[in-house]
Structure 1
Amino acid sequence: MVPSRIERLAGRAIQAIIVCIFLVGLYTRNLSVTVNAVLALAATFLPAVLRRDWQIRLHPLLGLWLALAVLFHAIGMLGPYHYIDWWDHVTHTLSATVVAAVGYVTARAVDEYTETVYLPDRFMFVYILLFTLAAGVFWEVLEFGARLAADAVGSEAVLVQYGLDDTIVDLVFDTVGAVLVALFGTPSLADTIDSVTERLERTRP
């Protein structure tokens, strides 16, 4: 396991890089780079907010993994999405693993919280895939909507959408990320599941 000090330093380094990307977006007056950098930076603070306000303990590497996923996305807006073919595949796979982890933790916590819900392992595998793909489809719709809105007002789109073929490939790599979590990532999420379950118990009427 990565020591907490190294984890914090890595997290701060990622945040610093995202701030630099934000400044580049401001300097070049690139709306898509600026907006995505702001959203990416906000996402890196989410684990700390969950710990402080909701007393939910994330796996030490989960917050770092989230920060890495949004960092790759923010860097991609600088240009790699356009001239590096595999960059989009990497970002979708990374993001899908985060989404799959969130879906798995939520479902397992509810399963442990109440006896009226029972989710067998085989169902969980399918659930992780469907949850991640649903989130992937939602993201693709957002990209398409952002493009239409930008065209309607004559401004730069804050999200990039390259057509139907690109959407299908994105969903394929979303599936890869979901499968990776379903096969290898679930044991490391046990502490986070316990934390979410404890939070549900504290809010029980």
Structure 2
Amino acid sequence: MNLRDAVGLTDSSLWLAVRGLQLLLLGIAGYAVATLNFGLVVNAVLPLLVTLTPEFVAWRYDHTMSGGLALWIATAAFLHSVGALGPYKWVGWYDQVTHTLSATLVAGVGYALVQALDESSDAVDFPPKFRFLFIVLFVVAFGVVWEIAEFASGGLASLVGGQAVLAQYGMSDIVLDLVFNGLGAVAVALWGTGYFDGVATVLSRGIAGVFGRQES
């Protein structure tokens, strides 16, 4: 399945949008440095690095990601960075939007992982129901780890002073985050796994190269 066809744009247009988001992230990082806002620096630089995932995959594994998937990654990273500027506090639903979008990418990674394991060995065969459950649980587990990181960030900030790198807004926020993480996971598990088949193929080659293909 081609995400470029789904959004109705040419691949070059999608990559142009990716570069635009990367420039905006670079601008946010520059603003964070100029204002000595360490938390914002982290929340701009790390997302910017995430948007370079397609370049890393092309360099390391000689695989070109589609412009649509690259834009998907860049949009999730950009929205998180923008949220750190204030919308996470000002707009009640903004956090849920970013969590849902980010969860779809985590779900894609979970699918790619289980698909790669299936492709790289004849000794295993994961049925569709298992893959669905694995994707959802993979996202839920990642979400729990993220919430723990938010609490840890807040605790560290209270000990050493300064602003927490990751914001946490209480128990109700945690519940909403996990619910919308789950919605993103289910959406990908039901309708979006095809967008990550290329990633699964890359992982499959890597697994086969490290461990060798296991024959049944």
Against the structure 1 CA distance between its residues 196 and 103, is the aligned structure 2 distance closer, same or farther, given a 3 Å change threshold?
Answer: same
Residues of 2 paired with 1:59 and 1:195: CA distance?
13
Residues of 2 paired with 1:142 and 1:204: CA distance?
32
Tell me which moved more, 6-15 or 56-65.
56-65
After superposition, the C-alpha distances for 1:63-111 in whole angstroms (9 at most, x for unaligned) are 2111100100000000000010110011000100000000100110111
Cross-structure match for 2:119:
112
Tell me which moved more, 194-203 or 117-126.
194-203
Match of 2:102 among 95, 113, 120: 95
Unmatched 5+ stretches in structure 2: none
Cross-structure match for 1:35:
42
Match of 2:26 among 12, 16, 19: 19
Residues of 1 paired with 2:121 and 2:62: CA distance?
20
Tell me which moved more, 58-67 or 178-187.
58-67
Cross-structure match for 1:44:
51
Asked if structure 1 preserves the Cα contact closer than 8 Å seen for 2:108 and 2:188, the reply is yes
Asked if structure 2 preserves the Cα contact closer than 8 Å seen for 1:129 and 1:178, the reply is yes
Cross-structure match for 1:127:
134
Match of 1:184 among 177, 191, 195: 191
Cross-structure match for 2:62:
55
Asked if structure 2 preserves the Cα contact closer than 8 Å seen for 1:56 and 1:199, the reply is no
Cross-structure match for 1:168:
175
**Residue aligned with 1:148, SS:** helix
Aligned length: 205
Residues of 2 paired with 1:138 and 1:11: CA distance?
28
What's the % identity of the aligned pairs?
39
Asked if structure 2 preserves the Cα contact closer than 8 Å seen for 1:22 and 1:37, the reply is yes
Residues of 1 paired with 2:147 and 2:110: CA distance?
18
Residues of 2 paired with 1:56 and 1:148: CA distance?
41
Residues of 1 paired with 2:205 and 2:101: CA distance?
28
Asked if structure 1 preserves the Cα contact closer than 8 Å seen for 2:51 and 2:73, the reply is yes
Cross-structure match for 1:151:
158
Asked if structure 2 preserves the Cα contact closer than 8 Å seen for 1:57 and 1:195, the reply is no
Q: What value does the CA root-mean-square deviation take over the aligned residues?
A: 1.4
Unmatched 5+ stretches in structure 1: none
TM-score by length of 1: 0.94
Residues of 2 paired with 1:188 and 1:7: CA distance?
15
Residues of 2 paired with 1:197 and 1:23: CA distance?
38
